[in-house]
Each structure stands twice: as C-alpha cells, then as structure tokens.
Amino acid sequence: MPRRTAAFPAQTITGEHAASLVRSGMWLDYGVGLCQPDIFDKALAARKDELKNVKIRSTLSMRPRAVVEDDPEGDHFFMFSWHFSGYDRKRHDAGRCNYLPLNLGEVPDYYRRFLEPVDIVILKTCPIDENGCFNFSAANAWHRAVVERARLVIVEVSQSLPYVYGDENGVHISEVDFIIDGDNQPAPELPNPQPSEIDRAVARHITAEIDDGACLQIGIGGMPNAVCTLLLESGIADLSVHTEMLTDGIVDLYKAGRITGARKTLDPGKIVYTFALGSQGLYDAAHRNPDFHCYQVDYTNSPHIIMRNDRVISINNTTQIDLQGQAASESDGHRHISGTGGQLQFVRGAYASKGGKSFICLASTYCKRGEPRSRIVLDLTPGNIVTTPRSDVMYVVTEYGLVNLKGKSVAERALALISIAHPDFREQLAREAHENRLIPRGVSF
C-alpha cells in the first residue's frame, strides 16, 4: 500500500530534521555503495550524545561514515556490513563494524523472511523522474526489499549519481516519507589497480579457456581486471555479461565492441549487473544507456538464473586454498577482510550453465613479515572462513598453471594443486600431503 497520497505527499526536510526522527535502539539501513547517504549521516552523528545503541546496516562504504568517525568508542552507533570495503575493514579492525554472513543473492529474502522491519531506511537516489520514481542509480541490490520492510523511508537526492535503467530500480514517491536535498558531491570512485605481471600470467591461463560468445562474470581486483585487458588484446568476440559488479574492465570491453550480448539466452543484448563501482568513466557509460541493465541481486546472483545463459565464465579471487580445494576468500584467520559476496553462487551457476566454467584465481605466494608464504597450504589458517567448498571448486589458477578439480580424488587434488604452487614450496607441500595421508603410498596417477 502507498505510504503517501496526494493529500499527504512526501515532505522535503533538512538532514537535521531527518536525524531527529532517530531514537535509541533503532535499526537503520544505509544501503549499498553509491546509495549511502552523506547529509543524513553527518546530521545523525551530530546527535550522538542524545542516542544509544543505534545499529546501522550498510554495504561497501565508499566514504568515511560520520557516525563512526565522530563516535570513536562506539558508545552511540554501531555498523553492520554485508560486505566490507577497505574502509569497513579498518573499522572492523578497530571494533566498530561487524560482518553479516550471507550469500549476496539471498539478501532480499533475509529482509523479507528473517529480519525484523527496519525502523528507518535512508538511501541516496537520483532526483525524481518523469514516472515519479527516485532511481537507485547503479546500486539496485536489495533496496526494494528494504523499502518494503521499512517503517520509514527517506531519500537523499543527488544530482551527481548516474541514472541507470533496470528492473524495479527505484522507489516511487508514494512509498517515500521524507526527501532530503543532497549535497550533489561526485559519486565515490573505486581505484582500479594496474595488473601486475603475476595478474597477467594468471589471466593468460584463464583467457585461453574463453571462447567467442561466452557470458562473463568478473569479480573485483587486479586479476579479474587483467582478464579484461587480455580479452581486449585477443580476438575473442561476441561476449556477454551477467555479473554482480559492473567494473571498468567490462566497460572497456563494451566500448571496444567485444561485448554484444548477441548470443545470450537470457536478456540478449543487455549487460546485466546489480551494482557498479569504479571510475567516473564507468558511471558515465552506464548513465541512461539502454545496453546496461541494473537488476536486483536475487536475479543477478541466483544460480538457477545464472545457468540459463550458456557458456557462463565466472572469475573470482581467493586468498588461500588448501590441498583439498577449499577456497578461503574473505578472511585472514578471524580477521574479516571482505565478504562471501556472490562467489559461491556464481561458481555454482557457472558450473550448471551449458559449457560453463568457474575460475578461482590467486597468486601463488604473498609476503608476511618480509617472508614469502604459500597461498596453497595443507591446512587453512585457523579461523579462516571457507567461501567456496571443495565440492564446488572447478578451475584453480595461479601464475604457474591451471587445474580442474572436478571429479578428482583427494590425492589427485593435492597433486594438482601442488603442481601450480610456487616451486619453492612444492617439496614441502608434497611431504605434508604424504605425512597426512592425503596422498596414499603406492598410488600413482
């Protein structure tokens, strides 16, 4: 049912007025990425001495949050995140942010089935359009579900966000209680790291497995970006995209004419995503571009939907993998660093796709206290979270090669993973595998 009628329209109020509606003990929701509010956030922080135990859900904070910075001891506000940005990770390290475990594509269902109604949702949006809607910009995600389950809906309008087309990508004015005029500062950008030589080596192994007409899901980071770079340099054509995150690498492929979507079974001709983070050039490319379609995350990330396109290629990073094939992609022991995101759902969706392939990629080593360490290990670091179980992992790729774990025994998995570990660690890994009976005596392959 609409919240407002012609007789009682949504009111435009100040950030201070909006913040005055918050009471101690409330649950607030700041939304995802580009949709996080700034005017409201500063106004709420200014009220900290009047409030206690205000809990705020958010995802991928791209700017410092005033409610955290102005409340260093956490006496008044506490953040919960569905996926950490670099900022969220630092706040977690300081005890000011806590992680919410998930499969990203299930989050709308969490709000509708398992979470208590949100007291107030505050989302930064585009100005009202000709249809009376406030566009969520390049962050559709689960915002519709939050709006449906919120007791109070506030939008903070910004002229600087890209207006993007998509499925139910906005909130109608009849569902809005209050409107804040935003500060119109430019949309936050996410720097794109230049691929290293190791990134490019990994990317070469992956691109050798990609054919014309493949449908791409590209994750965040240097290695997935390197895949886009090498695809640009290759002759591979007629690519499609059904992804969680829209990246600059995907936009570069689109501008070069490599992405046509012509061979997609589902949403032909459309680049499908649920949120975008990157450069201003990325936002400009998506702005009012009918080739880009921003869907809700339960559409982009559900394996039964992903699989409906043929030849799905899923490319994601991990930080550690054990000799049985468990991929730990989101923590360093008990220190949480990012999140599950859509990795597992895309691994499963790609596998179920006709001709699909999923790739988990990683550099073979990293440095800790000046010493090289192997990312391929006998046992995961104590406390590490398994993001993708051994039963789901398909291709694993390092700079030293690519192996497929599907259908392989524990012994075969261990040998395959040792073969793509850094040469300096292979002998030690083989010895540990034999000592712990991962590789039985007298068996050869």
3-state percent breakdown (helix, strand, coil) of the chain, nearest 5: 30, 25, 45
Residue 5 backbone dihedrals phi, psi, to 5 degrees: -130, 175
3-state secondary structure of 79: strand
- According to DSSP, the β-strands at 312-317 and 401-404 are unpaired
Q: Which two tokens stand for residue 438?
A: 């991962």
Rounded distance, CA 144 to CA 148, Å?
A: 6
56 and 166 Cβ atoms separated by less than 8 Å: no
Helix ranges (DSSP H) in 106-221: 107-109, 143-149, 197-207
Strands 327-328, 320-322: pairing kind: antiparallel
Catalytic option among 156, 175, 244, 399: 244
d(CA 310, CA 236): 16
Of 442, 440, 405, 445, nearest to 323 by C-alpha is 405
Tokens of 78: 């506490």
Judge whether 106 counts as a catalytic residue.
Answer: no
Q: φ and ψ at 56, to 5 degrees?
A: -125, 120
Residue with tokens 């014309």, as numbered in its chain: 212
Cβ within 8 Å of residue 394, ≥6 positions away? 347, 350, 351, 357, 358, 359, 360, 404, 405, 406
Please report which helix (H) or strand (E) contains residue 251, including its range. helix 248-255
Residues labelled as active-site residues: 244
